[in-house]
Amino acid sequence: MGERFNEAIYSFVREPRLNAASFRIAVTVLDSQHADAARHCAPIAGKLAEAACQDVQLVVFPQLSIRAADDLSRAESFDGPSIRAIAAAVDDTGVAAGVGWIERTEDKRLYDSYAILFPGGARVRHRKLHASHRGLQSGERFTVFDSPFGARIGILIGDDNDVVENVRMTALMGATLLIAPMRDQRTQRATLAARAADNGMYIACSHASSDEALIAGPDGRMLARRASANSGLIVADVQPSLAATSAGRRALSARRPELYEPLARQGIAYPLTIEPERATPRGSLPLSFAVVGRHRVMR
């Protein structure tokens, strides 16, 4: 059922409704609860109701916001009771939700997974690329999709965001908003801001700690860090057009992929080829120089 169900999910992303000039997102602090589905999904439903009052269209919850990694016995499928309960809250409030949990597949494999659930039943799932907990499998693909908000959205979980190539791949696949749920890791705010600027994308980092959650803009600025005293939500507006015209997006067009083939190899050694010096008449060597002025460089 799970894989057939997943095919229906992805039919949603093939028909995007990219017509919004901006939309409002929120990240929030919510640690996982060890209880039955109804009890640990109730706080999520409450946050969605609060978000609806602030015209938020998507709330990003932290990694493993449903189940903790040390609670593998309670792993659920993609259409299990917790996901169904949250999907019902999404439909009730009209606010999409991103939630993380330990997923159990039909063949009994376990993944650190993250799902974004939309009003109307559409949902998208991503599996962590670099599993860091014993007993969990690593995902095999990037997840980037067209959302109904006017933006392509990518998902990277936890320390997957520490790998530069992972973030760059989501940008090359067209993501203008990266959902970056975390739980135990320090977010290294300056690093995430640099990732946002380098790739011309918004980054929404939810976290179990209020000191670590943030939303960064495509120019690297922190758009929001402090939660509202009333709702505990960190809110910002996303404008896809700003990402599309950012310096980071312009830099992507200057890439020369033929030079980067060594990046796909294991290890860190780069095969350097040293060009031999070429002698010129009278034993002189070719030189290059630059004359540096206050306002320009002349060659």
Q: What is the pTM of this model?
A: 0.81
CA angle 88, 84, 202 (to 5 degrees): 75
Does residue 32 fall inside a structural domain? yes
Does residue 272 fall inside a structural domain? no
Tens of pLDDT, residues 225-241: 876 655 689 999 999 99
As for how many domains the chain has, the answer is 1
pLDDT at 226 (0 to 100): 72
**Location of structure tokens 């057939």:** 4
Q: Give the tokens for residue 294.
A: 């206050």
Decide the pairing of beta strands 58-60 and 23-28. parallel
Does residue 125 fall inside a structural domain? yes
Does residue 187 fall inside a structural domain? yes
Q: Average pLDDT, stretch 200-221?
A: 91
Q: Average pLDDT, stretch 26-32?
A: 79
Tens of pLDDT, residues 189-198: 889 999 999 9
Q: Is the pLDDT of residue 74 over 50?
A: yes
Average pLDDT, the chain: 82
Q: Average pLDDT, stretch 80-89?
A: 94
Does residue 56 fall inside a structural domain? yes
Does residue 285 fall inside a structural domain? no
Q: How confident is the model at residue 17 (pLDDT cuts 50, 70, 90)?
A: very low
Q: Average pLDDT, stretch 98-120?
A: 95
Helix axes 189-199 and 164-172, enclosed angle (nearest 10): 30
pLDDT at 207 (0 to 100): 85
The three-state secondary structure class of 43 is helix
Does residue 267 fall inside a structural domain? no
Which residues constitute the domain of residue 141? 2-257
Q: Which of 15-19, 154-158, 180-184, 185-189 is modeled with the greatest confidence? A: 154-158
Strands (E), the chain: 23-28, 58-60, 96-104, 110-117, 123-127, 143-146, 152-155, 177-179, 202-205, 214-216, 222-224, 233-238, 291-292, 297-298
- CATH number, domain containing residue 30: 3.60.110.10
DSSP 163-219: SHHHHHHHHHTT-SEEE---SSS---HHHHHHHHHHHT-EEEE--SSTTT-EEE-TT
Does residue 277 fall inside a structural domain? no
| Of residues 238, 202, 227, the one with CA closest to residue 47 | 227
Of the chain, the percentage scoring pLDDT greater than 70 comes to: 74
